[in-house]
Amino acid sequence: MKVLNVVGARPNFMKIAPLMTEYSQRGNVHAMLVHTGQHYDDKMSDLFFNELEIPKPDVNLEVGSGSHAVQTAEIMQRFEPVLTGYRPDVVVVVGDVNSTIACGLVAVKLGIKLAHVEAGLRSGDRTMPEEINRVLTDSISDFLFCTEQSGVDNLLLEGIPEKKIFFVGNVMIDTLLKNKAKAERSDVLSQLHLNGSGFAVLTLHRPSNVDDASVLGGILDALEVIEKDMPIIFPVHPRTRKKLGSGSIGGRIEKMTNLRLTEPLGYLDFLKLMSHARIVLTDSGGMQEETTILKVPCLTLRENTERPITAEIGSNRIVGTDPAKIIAAYRHAVNGGWHEPATPPLWDGRAAQRIIDILLG
């Protein structure tokens, strides 16, 4: 079987790594890897390939940044000749970025079967570009691989035939479990002058949080309280950094001496940082899952989540952006109100194996 795998952005790399490893252990599959170049700087791309031992991509489309329309169109144009030249039996896309839907559309229009890893996740918020990508990709896929039961339920409600839906577990957790011991050898804590677990980790990148000055200001209100208790380590997404350095926001951040802004971190450094944190605050999707396995309290700075299992088992609280709610949830978590959660079903490090077993039939 010829399988063409697509990655484009940083969250994709952790999801494709265990699949590429599993392909290499099978004698009856030829796996090609295409990198669209949606994320292209060293910290967001090359470093992750090296750390996760992902093979060098067979093709890099090098599309770079752009608006959603420009980026999606450019990926489609550059991906089509790759597909017509290679003619795989199946195209595998992961996650919910522009590369996911762009390459999926090209594949199905050429009559090539499409597999979506991390299918069925729904936030219910159509203002999120990722939600649009998820819904559309699922609607055209032939194999829908789900990480949690809510994904299966959502797809059935949307009319997807049951025979296309497979509950296989979470490939991001495959990657985490494989690399956790290696990450412990990172010296990132000493580099950041951190002792023990008395620190918080923060990530922010969603436009709804960083583009609106009033929303971002409210989040800073909460952070000003938290930083009085403990250092907050904030690896800053390149897009977010542009928003933080201007006007009154920039002035407030300068005065927050315990809010430590860093460059984006590699996978192993960031995994070590999360593993030892007292609490994580984020608007990311994947970190809600990773903190669940790491047994670290997570506060999600959004009004919804597409990963409800994390909230249902209690590892993650959806707190929105109201500073009073963030502070209350923070105090509850660090003062004994958070209890170690159970592990979600099939988050056992063998999702990639199940996926490839199904693809090979």
Q: How many CB atoms lie under 10 A from the CB of residue 57?
A: 18
- Which is nearest to 54 in space by CA: 101, 7, 95? 7
Is residue 237 part of the annotated active site? The answer reads no
Alpha helices in the chain (DSSP H): 10-24, 46-51, 68-86, 98-109, 129-140, 149-157, 171-183, 188-191, 207-210, 213-226, 238-244, 247-255, 267-276, 286-294, 308-312, 323-332, 351-360
Distance of CA 43 to the CA centre of its chain: 15
Dihedral sign for Cα 123, 48, 348, 283, please: negative
Tokens of 174: 């495959």
Under 8 Å between Cβ of 209 and 57: no
Q: Are 234 and 209 in contact (CB under 8 A)?
A: no
Q: With contact defined as beta carbons under 8 Å apart, do 38 and 71 qualify?
A: yes
Distance (Å, whole) CA 297 – CA 61: 38
> With contact defined as beta carbons under 8 Å apart, do 282 and 319 qualify?
no
Report which residue type is found at 259.
L
- Give the active site residue among 205, 237, 332, 339: 205
Contact 259, 237 (CB under 8 A): no
φ, ψ at 211 (rounded to 5°): -90, -25
Scan for tokens 């928003």, then name that residue: 243
Residue 145 β-bridge partners: 117, 166
Contacts of 25 by beta carbon, 8 Å cutoff, 6+ apart: none
Burial 239-255, CB ≥16 within 10 A → b, else e: ebeebbeeeebeebbee
* Residues catalogued as catalytic: 205
